[in-house]
């Protein structure tokens, strides 16, 4: 029973994939199944945003739904709730709405499949997790996402499990390089707690952090407009907080600065990085610092050696090479 | 006119309404849909409800009750849409049934908290805030007598369903896909039949549910108003017996708040108005525009059934409030300030001539045209007003207005010869905003004094002084 005992230490766990079809849902189902079959723990379930299609729209392969057990508390949207194939008791309804209606909190009475939905931003996600706990769930599993489209950050959960595999690349070298990059990004150093709390509440903009920890709005509305505001960036020192995503454009510009050694970029969490591996590595090699407000506790990686097109990687070799670079447990989702 | 519509026209009203702490979306809707009224009986009754609410929350034990009620209000869902579905003979889905159940349970909790309103409210108003009993309705949605805000198609509704569900579970364990699907469809069919039955049973309660939504709105709205008016020293208006409008210590809340932020005092004013047109003069920056805005805001508030920001208010209800305050320039339609203003005044005159009572508030009439014609226009406007039944306040900088009217002047600059140069922020401290009756028909020439205090170029001011002499 790999990593289940580990999991029981946490109150919330998110599941993310490096790419579609890397086995995130299988991993989630595996954990869920284990938790429900081997313990009397009440489990809660939600997702970030809406992950609703039964069929993956891109590859047309069937996408497993989540199978839940009696007593599990799950969150979905009004529209998806009617599609459930399970008997369940409605516990609560959110005031706020998603694109698919309000969020429905329900408790399973029978077992069966459901489509999950959830909060579309980090603050709301925190509230949803708390509310699920208030209905008696001891551990909350979050079907997460690593995508530019997602405003909800899976990092706020106590622990995270990453799924990767042939869908990301059928070249083992590339796959290992990309996965270990994501792993390294989950290990970025967090900033001091007091500052972090303040930064996590900021929704948009770019800020300077002065020596006393004061947060100064640089009044740069978007990272995309960085070109027109280059002069403003270092007016208040060399510590910057970017509330949204960071892109190659920003990293390239900062990397070219004379004082790159003194520059520290703070982002909310590792999911905000949308730069090439090379650019991030060069920035760090030149002495630049990249820190996060919210650290991520990655506790395991699962791999899916099969690509959506049917290509199979040698899973033993893949695991070996990943283990060489990543010091956390790695499992083949098809074999556990 | 609803409060929401009036808020679009009047910034001050917008400010006040946004300060009121409403807890539910139903309450917010009830507040914004409050209607402008000139029915004294109805308004008086509204004042009484608010006053009773104020008396209720004076006592600490009731304050605690109210905060419990508000915790429920904060989570109550507006089920107006679901009630409509019922009225249209639709069958409700589980979520709608859940919403009705949750709403009804919340209502009965609130009802149980408010069991002794009779100490504070008269019978009639007590009924205004008393929720219908929904016990029988809740029973329909609570066949297992659990009294929980939860819902699903319970096994208790049907033995057949209970059995099918058991079979379905077995089929799942056997992993027999055909059987699973067959039983799933069968369960769905029975559930649908139960939903239809439940919807039919609930239908007879549509009136009670609608009433509950309305009363929840009234409870939230009136206690929020009561609390706000107590905290901010608003008072209940009294309908005037001598047909005069009279305010003691009237203030303009948006400005009070702004001054408070910079720790400056606000000087409330006293004013009485008869049906004789009132002409107000005074230096620049002497608060004439704020006076008009205060009068208009208070009139709106009292005719929406609210209290007014004044220590004492004897008031008259009017048909409507007609104002010409602010810059009228309307570039989109290619009208100059003057043209826009004069067309607006034309509308006002048309209405006033209908012999209904209006409150007319005009700021610096014809100020954007030449003084000779300007004075003539003010004179003529006041003359028309004096022939009709409306209340009016007109402000002006012009002297030589001949029409017989009630003249008020802002006291203006406190005489202080040692005064040095002032910055713009200091000016308000140097002005006495009180209104005094002005029998001399002379306009205070304080524009030059003010300019001097502001440290404006000496040659500029002296030149102007010479011209006057």
B415 pLDDT exceeds 70?
no
User: Regarding beta strands A159-165 and A298-304, do their DSSP bridges make them parallel or antiparallel, or are they unpaired?
Assistant: parallel
Identify the CATH number of the domain defined by range A193-292.
3.40.140
The alpha-helical segments, DSSP class H, found in B119-176 are 123-128, 135-140, 159-174
Domain residue limits, chain A = 4-186+296-335, 193-292
How does residue A188 score in pLDDT terms, banded at 50, 70 and 90?
very high
CA distance to partner chain B, nearest, from residue A178 (Å): 39
CB contact under 8 A, B94 and A111: no
B430 pLDDT exceeds 80?
no
Chain A residue with minimal CA distance to B169?
A: A110
DSSP class per residue in B336-375: -HHHHHHHHHHHHHHHHTTT--EEEEESSTTTTS-HHHHH
Output the six-digit token pair for A36: 């429900």
Q: Could you tell me the end-to-end alpha-carbon distance of chain B, in angstroms, rounded to an integer?
A: 52
* Alpha-carbon gap, residue B375 to B368, rounded angstroms: 12
Output the six-digit token pair for A13: 């766990």
Interface test with chain A among B96, B146, B172, by most A beta carbons within 10 Å: B172
* Alpha-carbon gap, residue B396 to B108, rounded angstroms: 58
Residues of chain B contacting residue A112, judged by C-beta atoms under 8 Å apart: 172
Which residue among A88, A93, A112 places its CB closest to the CB of B152? Answer: A88
Which residue among B93, B95, B152 places its CB closest to the CB of A93? Answer: B95
Of B441, B437, B431, the residue nearest B401 (C-alpha)? B441
CB contact under 8 A, A92 and B168: no
Q: What is the pLDDT of residues B395-413, one digit of tens each?
A: 888 877 788 888 888 877 7
ipTM (interface pTM): 0.80
Chain A residue with minimal CA distance to B73?
A: A95
Q: What percent of chain A has pLDDT over 70?
A: 93
Chain B residue with minimal CA distance to A70?
A: B169
* Alpha-carbon gap, residue A305 to A22, rounded angstroms: 8
Which class would CATH give A4-186+296-335?
A: alpha beta
Q: Would you say A44 and A132 are in contact if contact means Cβ atoms under 8 Å apart?
A: yes
* Alpha-carbon gap, residue A11 to A8, rounded angstroms: 8
Rounded to the nearest angstrom, the gap between the alpha carbon of residue B237 and the centroid of all alpha carbons in its chain is: 15
Longest Cα–Cα distance of chain B, Å, equals: 109
- Taking only residues 243 to 272 of chain B, the set having a beta carbon closer than 8 angstroms to any beta carbon of chain A reads none
* Alpha-carbon gap, residue B236 to B221, rounded angstroms: 16
* Alpha-carbon gap, residue B415 to B426, rounded angstroms: 15
Q: Would you say B66 and B223 are in contact if contact means Cβ atoms under 8 Å apart?
A: yes
DSSP H or E segment with residue A324: helix A315-325
- Interface residues from chain A to B (CB-CB < 8 Å): 78, 81-82, 85, 87-93, 95, 104, 106-107, 109-112
**Does A193-292 match A4-186+296-335 at the fold level?**
no
Q: Would you say B100 and B209 are in contact if contact means Cβ atoms under 8 Å apart?
A: yes
* Alpha-carbon gap, residue B204 to B122, rounded angstroms: 30
Whether B98 has its CB under 8 Å from any CB of chain A: the answer is yes
Output the six-digit token pair for A78: 């009004």
Which residue among B152, B168, B184 places its CB closest to the CB of A90? Answer: B152
How does residue B167 score in pLDDT terms, banded at 50, 70 and 90?
very high
List of residues 6+ apart from A320 with CB closer than 8 A = none
Whether B165 has its CB under 8 Å from any CB of chain A: the answer is yes
Q: What is the pLDDT of residues A18-37, one digit of tens each?
A: 888 888 888 998 898 888 87
Of A203, A201, A200, the residue nearest A190 (C-alpha)? A200
How does residue B114 score in pLDDT terms, banded at 50, 70 and 90?
confident
How does residue B286 score in pLDDT terms, banded at 50, 70 and 90?
confident
What pLDDT is attached to residue A52?
Answer: 43
Output the six-digit token pair for B416: 């202080």
How does residue A147 score in pLDDT terms, banded at 50, 70 and 90?
low
Output the six-digit token pair for A120: 């579309």
Residues of chain B contacting residue A91, judged by C-beta atoms under 8 Å apart: 149-150
């Amino acid at each position: 029973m790999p990593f289940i005992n580990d999991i029981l230490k946490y109150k919330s766990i998110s599941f993310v994939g490096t790419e579609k079809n890397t086995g995130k849902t299988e991993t989630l189902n595996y954990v869920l199944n284990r938790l429900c079959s081997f313990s009397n723990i009440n489990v809660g379930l939600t997702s970030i945003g809406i992950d609703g299609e039964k069929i993956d729209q891109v590859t047309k392969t069937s996408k497993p739904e989540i199978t839940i057990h009696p007593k599990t508390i799950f969150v979905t949207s009004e529209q998806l709730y009617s599609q459930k194939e399970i008997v369940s008791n409605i516990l609560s309804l959110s005031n706020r709405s998603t694109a698919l209606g309000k969020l429905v909190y329900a408790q399973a009475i029978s077992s069966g499949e459901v489509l999950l939905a959830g909060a579309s931003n980090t603050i709301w996600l925190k509230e949803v997790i708390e509310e699920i706990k208030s209905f008696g769930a001891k551990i909350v599993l979050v079907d997460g996402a690593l995508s530019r489209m997602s405003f909800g950050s899976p990092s706020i959960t106590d622990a995270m499990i990453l799924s990767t595999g042939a869908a990301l690349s059928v070249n083992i070298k590339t796959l290992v390089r990309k996965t270990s990059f994501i792993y390294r990004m989950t290990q970025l150093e967090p900033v001091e707690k007091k500052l972090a709390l303040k930064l996590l509440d900021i929704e948009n903009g770019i800020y300077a952090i002065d020596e006393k920890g004061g947060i100064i709005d640089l009044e740069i509305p978007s990272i995309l407009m960085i070109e027109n505001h280059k002069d403003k960036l270092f007016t208040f020192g060399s510590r910057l907080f970017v509330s949204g995503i960071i892109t190659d454009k920003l990293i390239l510009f900062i990397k070219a600065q004379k004082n790159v050694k003194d520059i520290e970029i703070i982002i909310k969490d590792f999911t905000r990085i949308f730069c090439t591996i090379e650019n991030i590595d060069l920035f760090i090699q030149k002495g630049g610092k990249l820190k996060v407000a919210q650290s991520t506790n990655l506790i395991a990686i699962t791999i899916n050696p099969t690509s959506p097109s049917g290509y199979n990687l040698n899973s033993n070799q893949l695991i070996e090479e990943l283990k060489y670079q990543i010091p956390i447990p790695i499992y083949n989702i098809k074999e556990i | 006119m609803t409060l929401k519509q009036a808020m679009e026209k009047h910034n001050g009203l917008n400010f006040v309404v946004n300060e009121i702490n409403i807890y539910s979306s139903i309450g917010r809707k009830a507040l914004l849909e409050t209607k402008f009224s000139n029915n004294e009986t109805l308004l008086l009754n509204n004042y009484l409800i608010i006053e009773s609410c104020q008396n209720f929350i004076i006592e600490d034990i009731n304050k605690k009750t109210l905060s419990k009620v508000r915790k429920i209000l904060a989570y109550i869902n507006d089920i107006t849409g679901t009630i409509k579905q019922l009225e249209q003979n639709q069958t409700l889905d589980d979520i709608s049934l859940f919403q009705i159940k949750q709403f009804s349970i919340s209502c009965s909790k609130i009802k149980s908290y408010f069991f002794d309103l009779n100490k504070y409210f008269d019978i009639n108003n007590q009924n205004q805030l008393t929720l219908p009993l929904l016990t029988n309705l809740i029973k329909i949605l609570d066949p297992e007598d659990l009294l929980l805000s939860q819902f699903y198609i319970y096994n208790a509704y049907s033995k057949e369903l209970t059995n099918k569900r058991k079979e379905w579970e077995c089929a799942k364990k056997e992993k027999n896909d055909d059987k699973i699907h067959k039983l799933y469809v069968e369960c769905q069919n029975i559930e649908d039949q139960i939903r239809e039955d439940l919807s039919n049973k609930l239908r007879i309660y549509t009136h009670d549910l609608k009433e509950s939504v309305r009363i929840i709105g009234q409870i939230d709205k009136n206690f929020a108003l009561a609390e706000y008016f107590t905290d901010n020293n608003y008072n209940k208006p009294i309908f005037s017996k001598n047909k005069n409008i009279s305010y003691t210590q009237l203030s303009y809340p948006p400005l009070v708040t702004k001054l408070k932020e910079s720790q400056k005092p606000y000087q409330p004013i006293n004013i009485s108005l008869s049906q004789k047109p009132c002409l107000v003069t005074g230096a620049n920056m002497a608060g004439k525009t704020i006076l008009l805005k205060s009068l208009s805001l208070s009139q709106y508030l009292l005719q929406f059934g609210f209290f007014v920001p004044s220590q004492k208010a004897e008031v008259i209800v009017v048909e409507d409030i007609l104002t010409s305050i602010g810059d009228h320039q309307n570039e989109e339609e290619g009208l100059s300030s003057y043209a826009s203003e004069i067309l607006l005044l034309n509308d006002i005159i048309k209405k006033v001539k209908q012999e209904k009572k209006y409150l007319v508030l005009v700021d610096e009439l014809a100020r954007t045209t030449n003084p000779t014609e300007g004075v003539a226009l003010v004179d003529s406007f006041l003359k028309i007003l004096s022939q009709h039944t409306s209340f009016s306040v007109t402000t002006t900088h012009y002297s030589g207005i001949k029409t017989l009217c009630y003249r008020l002047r802002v006291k203006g600059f406190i005489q202080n010869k040692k005064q040095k140069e002032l910055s713009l922020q200091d000016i308000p401290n140097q002005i006495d905003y009180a209104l005094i009756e002005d029998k001399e028909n002379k306009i205070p020439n304080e524009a030059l004094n003010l300019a001097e205090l502001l440290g404006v170029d000496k040659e500029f001011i002296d030149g102007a002084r010479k011209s006057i002499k």
